[in-house]
Amino acid sequence: MRIAIFTDSFFPKIDGIAVSVQNFCLSLEERGHRFVICCPSYADDDVTTIGERIRVERFKSVALPSYPEMRIIIPGRKKLHRVIKDFKPDLIHIQTPGFMGQYGVAAAKMYSLPVLGTYHTMMSEVGMYVNPLRLLKVDKLLNRFRRRKKIASKLSKLTRKRPGSLGGKLLHTLANRLYEKCALIISPSEIIKQQLIAQNIKAPVTVISNGIDLKMFKGEQRRHPGDEPHLLHVGRIAPEKNTEEVIRAFALIKRELPLARLTIVGDGPVLLDLKREASELGVADSVAFTGYVPRIELPRICHEHDVFITASAMETQGLVALEAIATGMPAVGVDAFALPELIQHGRNGYIAPAHDIPALAAAAVRLLKDAAAFSRFSHEAMLIAAEHSHQRSTDRLEKIYRKFKA
């Protein structure tokens, strides 16, 4: 089959959508299928091929002022027609509700092609990027107040605020209307599927996990770390991930476990803010910021740590959490969207209410002070991850492609 993927997020930007798209395309390429990935341009050296049967078509774009790695596509209708006519896809699969997702739906209509959509992101939760203060680049003023910490902290908090419920609902409504034009919506988790159904979305919804390569992220029974636990957070260092809440929780954890350490893996637009936060809280010497790390290094890093911790309240699945528990790591997270499917309270970790920093810290301390629970959670973490084999997910996606192809 020939499948055209439309996504507003792809490499070199590193996030769960890019990883999911690449993994599925590579797996299905091995089975003889061909892909064209239509996505934004980021730089002159963007990759244009991935494997023999996977072509990448870059559409001209400009950066969103409030988040340079989020791109706004410059209309290119001629290129869209050329890509579709040259590639002759059997179906179109959109991954995002942004400009490229809209292009994908438009192309499907113009060329009478079936269109599927994966619902990777709850749009009501990413409205912070249309925060007027961020769009007006007020966050850039932070750089002028680095030495005046109180002013910098206040500006940082203002620019990370989400818009009111009306703005979030509008984004959500627009996204749902686009996905309702799909023959089938694919949700990475059961929880998101149920939310979409509860919202009366007018398209059928099925669940396919983004999946994980269990050969890459091998499980290992963990030993309790004693009084010197090493916590791990992995992900985009962006406002919606609430990584500052992890650092604040860690400062509370340190009161109970003074020898605890935290590693934060990833890069993004608020990295400097987080480093300042760690310094202000007096935990900078115990927090390591690695910046960007090649994906191939993540399994090793996971095995060097004891507990995974996240405060992200917008995960439609949570690929980094899945990778962490696959290695046998117990986890602590928040009760929001799909995380409780992977971090199951009392089975492989603990869940705290979203944005409740003391509760998040208490959950981590509770886990780290109970050696018996730690060992049991490590074993259960691997069992939960085993249900998300990428092989199984690829089988399901291929079956759906065959069902809907033109």
Write the pLDDT tens digit of every residue in 183-233. Answer: 999 999 998 999 999 999 999 999 999 999 999 999 999 999 999 999 999
| 204 and 243 together in one domain | no
Instruction: Tell me the CA end-to-end span of the chain in Å, nearest whole number.
Output: 10
| 278 and 365 together in one domain | yes
Give the pLDDT confidence score for residue 133 in this predicted structure: 47
Domain membership flag for residue 223: no
Among 63-67, 240-244, 351-355, name the one with the lowest average pLDDT.
Answer: 63-67
How much is the pTM?
Answer: 0.86
pLDDT digits (tens, 9 = 90+) for 164-182: 455 567 778 889 999 999 9
**Phi and psi of 86, rounded to 5°?**
-75, -40
Task: Write the secondary structure of 286-352 as one string of H (helix), E (strand) and C (coil).
Answer: HEEEEECCCHHHHHHHHHCCCEEECCCCCECCCHHHHHHHHCCCCEEEECCCCHHHHCCECCCEEEE
| 169 and 240 together in one domain | no
Domain membership flag for residue 308: yes
| 351 and 395 together in one domain | no
| 170 and 261 together in one domain | no
CATH code of 103's domain: 3.40.50.2000
| 74 and 123 together in one domain | yes
| 349 and 400 together in one domain | no
Instruction: Inform me whether the pLDDT recorded for 323 exceeds 80.
Output: yes
| 312 and 377 together in one domain | yes
Q: How does residue 159 score in pLDDT terms, banded at 50, 70 and 90?
A: very low
Question: What rounded mean pLDDT belongs to the chain?
Answer: 90
Domain span including residue 97: 2-211+390-404
| 246 and 382 together in one domain | yes
pLDDT digits (tens, 9 = 90+) for 30-50: 999 999 999 999 999 999 999
| 151 and 254 together in one domain | no
Domain membership flag for residue 221: no
| 240 and 364 together in one domain | yes
Contact 334, 310 (CB under 8 A): yes
And the tokens for 72? Answer: 């706004």
